[in-house]
């Protein structure tokens, strides 16, 4: 029987690349994002290139009802999910300066609550079948506190903690869970967030292509990594991020008010 992968945020950037690489492995695809047109275009492209079946499910994961609706819709169609990629995400509001709490609430729903609920809904079925993969897209921003919008890094830190704990809980069940932590990656993310000037001001060697990040993530989960920093540069930097000395340096540079959002 065909295996099925569900990818959120599948119409652009890392999500679209996950869909492409999983299609190349022969997975049927369930593609989720808000806007139906780019999703349908992605589905048509992947059907054409890889001959896989695709199902487009437009949904806004910042709405609390979305994960349950996705789950119920798949259940009704008799489809079970073997590979779940919780990838949809945005740069997000500033905790202190954005004064509309609804905006924060929707951000937390998208970045944390919906991911936890997707795991809650889909992991037990994987467990029962004795096979499954869940990749939660976190970020190197979740590995070190910086001064900034005080929302994005903490949300990604939650996904890292959630993935590590789920991975331990599901050990031996045939279900593997990994938090993939990309650094700066060429996608639509920074343009959508109005951060094009910041992107252009950063050195090119800090940036990775989405295909590299995704390939490394798909390999890492097979090697039982519960957290994986993608990109050689960021893997090298990560132990430094964890040191008191580096945190002190970041503290000093943050006081000079420099920030970015990988
Ligand atoms: N690019 C980077 O440098 C970088 C680095 C580290 C981590 N990440 C993380 O990687 C993930 C993917 O980002 P990306 O760089 O590929 O961004 P992207 O190119 O902007 O793609 C984002 C995708 O998420 C979808 N999406 C956004 N809000 C959504 C919502 N409320 N409900 C459902 N889908 C939604 C978008 O489609 P619609 O707008 O149609 O919904 C799109 O398909 C994010 O979690 C991001 O935090 C990115």
As a whole number of angstroms, the distance between CA 52 and CA 220 comes to: 24
Known catalytic residues?
152, 156
Q: Which of the listed residues 8, 12, 16, 105 should we mutate to test ligand 1's pocket, taking the one with most ligand atoms within 8 A of CB?
A: 12
Mean pLDDT of 33-49: 98
> How far is the centre of ligand 1, averaged over its atoms, from the C-alpha of 120 (Å)?
21
Q: What percent of the chain has pLDDT over 70?
A: 97
The minimum-distance atom of ligand 1 relative to the CA of 8 is: 34
Whole-number Cα distances in Å, 132 to 128, 167, 199 = 10, 11, 36
* Cβ pair 55, 81 in contact under 8 A: no
Which residue's C-alpha comes closest to atom 46 of ligand 1? Answer: 89
As a whole number of angstroms, the distance between CA 218 and CA 144 comes to: 24
Instruction: Report yes or no on whether pTM surpasses 0.75.
Output: yes
> How far is the centre of ligand 1, averaged over its atoms, from the C-alpha of 14 (Å)?
7
Q: Which of the listed residues 151, 189, 202 should we mutate to test ligand 1's pocket, taking the one with most ligand atoms within 8 A of CB?
A: 189
- Give the residue from 46, 53, 12 showing the smallest Cα distance to 32: 12
Q: DSSP E strands: which ranges in the chain?
A: 4-8, 28-33, 54-58, 83-86, 132-137, 175-181, 185-186, 208-209, 227-229
pLDDT in tens, 122-159: 999 999 999 999 999 999 999 988 888 999 999 999 99
Give pLDDT, residue 155. 98
> CA 166, 237, 181, 174: dihedral to nearest 10 degrees?
-40
> What three-state secondary structure class fits 90?
coil
Residues with CB under 6 A from ligand 1: 8-15, 33-35, 38, 60-62, 87-90, 110, 137, 139, 182, 184-185, 187-189, 192, 262
> How far is the centre of ligand 1, averaged over its atoms, from the C-alpha of 177 (Å)?
20
pLDDT in tens, 199-227: 999 999 999 999 999 999 999 999 999 99
As a whole number of angstroms, the distance between CA 230 and CA 256 comes to: 28
> How far is the centre of ligand 1, averaged over its atoms, from the C-alpha of 15 (Å)?
7
* Cβ pair 240, 246 in contact under 8 A: yes
* Cβ pair 137, 86 in contact under 8 A: yes
Which residue's C-alpha comes closest to atom 8 of ligand 1? Answer: 139
Q: How confident is the model at residue 246 (pLDDT cuts 50, 70, 90)?
A: confident
The minimum-distance atom of ligand 1 relative to the CA of 140 is: 6
Q: What percent of the chain has pLDDT over 90?
A: 88
Q: Which of the listed residues 187, 192, 198, 214 should we mutate to test ligand 1's pocket, taking the one with most ligand atoms within 8 A of CB?
A: 187
Looking at domain 4-255, does it have CATH number 3.40.50.10190?
Answer: no
Mean residue pLDDT across the chain: 95
> How far is the centre of ligand 1, averaged over its atoms, from the C-alpha of 148 (Å)?
19
């Amino acid at each position: 029987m065909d295996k099925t992968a569900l990818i959120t945020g599948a119409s652009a950037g890392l999500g679209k690349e996950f869909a492409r690489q999983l299609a190349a492995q022969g997975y049927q695809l369930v593609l989720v994002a808000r806007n139906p047109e780019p999703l349908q275009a992605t589905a048509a492209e992947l059907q054409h290139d890889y001959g896989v079946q695709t199902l487009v499910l437009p949904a806004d994961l910042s709405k609390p009802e979305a994960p349950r609706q996705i789950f119920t819709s798949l259940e009704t169609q008799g489809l079970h999910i073997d590979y779940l990629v919780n990838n949809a995400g945005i740069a997000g509001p500033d905790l202190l300066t954005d004064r509309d709490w609804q905006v924060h609430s929707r951000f937390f729903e998208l970045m944390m609550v919906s991911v936890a609920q997707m795991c809650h809904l889909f992991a037990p079925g994987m467990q029962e079948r004795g096979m499954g993969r869940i990749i939660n897209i976190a970020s190197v921003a979740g590995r070190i506190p910086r001064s900034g919008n005080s929302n994005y890094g903490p949300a990604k830190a939650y996904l890292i903690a959630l993935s590590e704990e789920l991975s331990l809980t599901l050990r031996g069940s045939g279900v593997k869970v990994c938090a993939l932590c990309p650094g700066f990656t060429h996608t639509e993310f920074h343009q959508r967030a109005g951060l094009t000037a910041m992107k252009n001001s950063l050195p090119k060697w800090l940036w990775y292509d989405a295909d590299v990040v995704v390939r490394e993530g798909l390999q890492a989960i097979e090697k039982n990594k519960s957290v994986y920093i993608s990109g050689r540069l960021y893997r090298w930097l990560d132990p430094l991020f964890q040191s008191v000395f580096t945190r002190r340096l970041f503290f000093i540079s943050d006081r000079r008010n420099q920030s970015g959002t990988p």
